[in-house]
Each structure stands twice: as C-alpha cells, then as structure tokens.
C-alpha cells in the first residue's frame, strides 16, 4: 500500500504503520492523516490481529501537525476519534513526540517507549488549539494531563512509565522490537476475546466530549457525502422525485 509519507506492511499477523517524513521530522499533513486512516481501515478489514504505529526516525517520532498545511480533519486518522477499531494498536515511540503526535500515540491501546523519549504538548505556548488533547484526561491521571497541557513542558518516558501511561520502557533503540514482541504475544491469543475486552474496557471509561463531537461529525458527514444526498439535491434542482439507494 504505497503512500508518500506513510508505509504499511503486514506479516505474521502484525500490521506495521510507519511515519516516513524524516526531512520534516514527521510533521503530519492533511494527506498523512488521510493516509493513516486508509492504513487503519486496511488493518481493521484485513487478517492482521495487531497493529504497530512507529516512525522511521529515532530522534523525533513526530513534530506534530504541519502548520504550513494544517490538517483540518486530522481526527479522521486518529483511533477512537475518527474511527473505532476493536483490534489492538500499539504505539512504538522514541525521541520527541509533539502536539498532534501525542494525541495520535496516546489514543493507541498500548504504548512502548524508549528511554530518553518525551511527550510534549505545546499548544498553550503556541496559542492555537483544537482541544482534542483533552481526551487524554481519560487516558492518564488528570493532574498530570493538566500539567502537560498547561505548561508545555516535556513529560519524560520514565515519568510516563511510572504513572502507568506506558506499558514497556526499554533501552534506546529497542522500542520497535519490544513492540513486535508484545504484538506477537497478543496475536497468539484468541482474537474474539481480545477485541471484546478492548471494546468493553473503552466503553467502561466512556467517551470524552471531543469524542462525542467527532462521532457526531462523522455521522453527519456520512449522510452529506453520500450518493443519496447528491441525487436528492440534483432531483430537487430538476424538480423530480429523488431515488434513494442507501449509499
């Protein structure tokens, strides 16, 4: 599945989705988020049982959204925002994870992080925000989430692991291999049980307001962008009775 800045591959029941824009420190464009969504959709529909989200770069996992090409619909490529996937997704992180990259990785189900890595959310310093990061209050201790959001200071991998935000803390350079080991362990288990327990667990913590908002937008856009909607408008202009096909 070829994309300009994203790689997708499946082998041994594992899907690997790789950010590949090192010249821009993997800053995420609108096209990259659209391609991420295509990758996640392929994973959800395919035979792979676990996905790993990783980067080609060890020093900067992701520099956040590319503000020269602001991804207006970024949420469509983020797990549990633009789509629901019952299969587990693991983020394999090293280096700096900034802005939208924090939301993207922390909305994954499991996280493997290399020593020395850090999460940085600078919106309060930049002065531009869409609020999606507020969802992390469901994924980490509230006071820690507020500190990270309000100060813009880095949250170290070591501290993230200490508070349970990270599943595996590994030496630098070993994060991808550790994520693969974890993925193979999960993939060897009963997939229906894994998928059920993931969804029940996420249902137990409930949706944050931003998730509800994006879910509503998804539902409305599904109707507005449909063939039926286009046919209805054309029929209205032609003063004809519309014919609906449910697509």
Q: Where do the structural domains in the chain lie, given as residue ranges?
A: 6-189, 207-247
Among 68-72, 103-107, 120-124, 179-183, which stretch is predicted with the lowest mean pLDDT?
A: 68-72
pLDDT level of residue 9 (50, 70, 90 thresholds): very high
111: which strand partners?
Answer: 91
- pTM of the model as a whole: 0.91
Residue 39 pLDDT greater than 80, yes or no:
yes
Q: What percent of the chain has pLDDT over 70?
A: 100
Q: Is the pLDDT of residue 217 over 90?
A: no
Q: For residue range 12-37, what is the model confidence (pLDDT) as tens digits? A: 999 999 999 999 999 999 999 999 99
Does the structural domain 6-189 have CATH classification 3.90.226.10?
A: yes
CB neighbour list of residue 56: distance below 8 Å, 6 or more residues apart? 7, 18, 19, 20, 22, 26
CA 194/CA 33 separation, integer angstroms: 26
Task: Specify the pLDDT at position 210.
Answer: 84
Per-residue pLDDT at 59 exceeds 90: yes
Angstrom distance (rounded) from CA 126 to CA 200: 37
Q: Identify the CA nearest to 185 among candidates 11, 13, 40.
A: 13
Start-to-end CA distance of the chain, whole Å, equals 26
Q: CA separation (Å) from 125 to 122, 147, 148, 153, 209? A: 5, 13, 11, 10, 23
Cα–Cα distance, 76 to 35 (Å, whole number) = 10
Per-residue pLDDT band at 67 (split at 50, 70, 90): confident
Tell me: pLDDT of 1 over 80: no
- For residue 215, what pLDDT band results from cuts at 50, 70 and 90? confident
CA angle at residue 215 from 209 to 220, to 5 degrees? 130
pLDDT at 72 over 90: no
> What integer best gives the mean pLDDT of the chain?
94
For the residues 135-163, what does the mean pLDDT come to? Answer: 93
């Amino acid at each position: 599945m070829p994309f300009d800045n994203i790689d997708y591959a499946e082998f041994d029941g594992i899907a690997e989705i790789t950010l590949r824009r090192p010249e821009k420190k993997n800053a995420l464009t609108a096209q990259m988020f659209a391609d991420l969504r295509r990758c996640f959709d392929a994973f959800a529909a395919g035979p792979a049982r676990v996905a790993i989200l990783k980067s080609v770069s060890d020093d900067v996992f992701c520099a956040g959204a590319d503000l020269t090409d602001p991804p207006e619909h970024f949420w469509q490529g983020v797990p549990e925002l633009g789509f629901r996937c019952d299969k587990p997704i693991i983020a394999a992180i090293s280096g700096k994870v900034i802005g939208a990259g924090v939301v993207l990785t922390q909305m994954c189900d499991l996280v493997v992080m290399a020593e020395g890595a850090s999460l940085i959310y600078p919106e309060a310093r930049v002065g531009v925000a869409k609020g999606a990061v507020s969802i992390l209050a469901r994924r980490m201790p509230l006071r820690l989430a507020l500190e990270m959001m309000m100060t813009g200071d880095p949250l170290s991998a070591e501290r993230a692991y200490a508070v349970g935000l990270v599943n595996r803390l590994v030496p630098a350079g070993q994060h991808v291999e550790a994520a693969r080991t974890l993925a193979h362990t999960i993939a060897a288990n009963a997939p229906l049980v894994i998928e059920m327990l993931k969804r029940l667990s996420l249902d137990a913590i409930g949706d944050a307001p931003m998730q509800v908002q994006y879910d509503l937008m998804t539902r409305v856009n599904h109707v507005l962008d449909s063939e039926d909607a286009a046919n209805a408008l054309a029929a209205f202009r032609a003063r004809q009775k519309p014919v609906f096909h449910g697509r």
